[in-house]
Every structure is written in structure tokens, then in C-alpha cells.
């Protein structure tokens, strides 16, 4: 977000089982970014960014699942010192994630996502790895 700024994201989600093994998840949100009154050449403002995501999850066993993932976001046009920039974002990624248990309360997650649509910013692929301990 940069210096002298804050951001907050509100999101509403819904998930529902399709069967005993399949689950669909959807979420929509808005990211609000605060103004930077101390920007180098004046005040920097940014419009909210609308976000959406969908996941199709396949459960294989307790703590063992895989998903196909899609996200999309748009908006975020900036204004600097009263000059409105042509930098509105409209980007999306497509990916897959696998989470599998390795011991009681521990799991490893691996995911990969590709840039499906990039109209502003970097066009990059993303690799996710994590080791998780679930506190009970």
C-alpha cells in the first residue's frame, strides 16, 4: 500500500456442500485504502477495489483436501494532487491448492496460481507452500 496509508478489507462469503466430498465457496469484498496526505507531490487518493473469489473443494479425508481457485478484482483508480490517473485495476488469477495432513494437528499446503487476466501491474505466477499447526 505504501507509506502513510492504511487498508481495510470487508468480505462476505458463503459455502455450501455439493455432496459429501465436494464443497463450493464464494466470497465478495471491497478493499478500502486510506489517503496519503504526505505523498511526494501532494495528496494521493485511491478508489476502493472490488474483489471476488470462488473455490471448488474436493475433500478426500480428515484434513486432506484439494481445490480449484479463481479470484478477480477491479477498481482502485488513483488520484494524485487532483490529477486522476488511468490506472484502474482489473486482474485475475486461476489456481489449485492441495492441503494434506502429515501428523495429528499438522498439515502441509501446496498451491500454484497463474495470471489469467492482468490489465495493470505485474503479470506473474505464484507458488504457495505452508506448514500449519492447528491449535485445538
The confidence score (pLDDT) of residue 16 equals 94
Q: Which three cell numbers stand for residue 86?
A: 488511468
Reported pTM:
0.81
Between 90 and 51, the higher pLDDT residue: 51
User: Under a CB-based contact definition with an 8 Å cutoff, are residues 27 and 11 in contact?
Assistant: yes
Q: Which three cell numbers stand for residue 6?
A: 492504511
What integer is the mean pLDDT of 71-94?
Answer: 89
- Which residue ranges form the domains of the chain, and what is each CATH number? 7-133 (2.40.160)
Look-up of cell digits 478500502: 32
Amino acid at each position: 500500500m505504501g507509506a502513510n496509508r492504511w487498508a481495510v478489507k470487508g468480505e462476505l462469503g458463503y459455502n455450501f456442500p455439493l455432496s459429501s466430498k465436494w464443497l463450493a465457496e464464494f466470497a465478495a469484498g471491497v478493499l478500502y485504502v486510506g489517503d496519503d496526505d504526505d505523498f511526494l507531490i501532494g495528496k494521493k487518493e485511491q478508489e476502493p477495489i472490488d474483489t471476488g473469489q470462488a473455490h471448488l473443494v474436493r475433500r478426500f479425508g480428515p484434513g486432506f483436501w484439494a481445490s480449484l481457485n479463481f479470484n478477480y478484482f477491479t477498481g482502485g483508480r488513483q488520484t494524485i494532487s487532483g490529477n486522476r490517473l488511468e490506472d484502474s485495476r482489473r486482474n485475475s488469477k486461476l489456481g489449485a491448492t492441495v492441503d494434506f495432513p502429515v501428523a495429528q494437528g499438522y498439515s502441509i499446503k501446496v498451491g500454484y496460481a497463474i495470471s489469467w487476466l492482468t490489465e495493470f501491474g505485474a503479470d506473474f505466477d505464484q507458488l504457495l507452500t505452508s506448514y500449519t499447526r492447528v491449535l485445538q
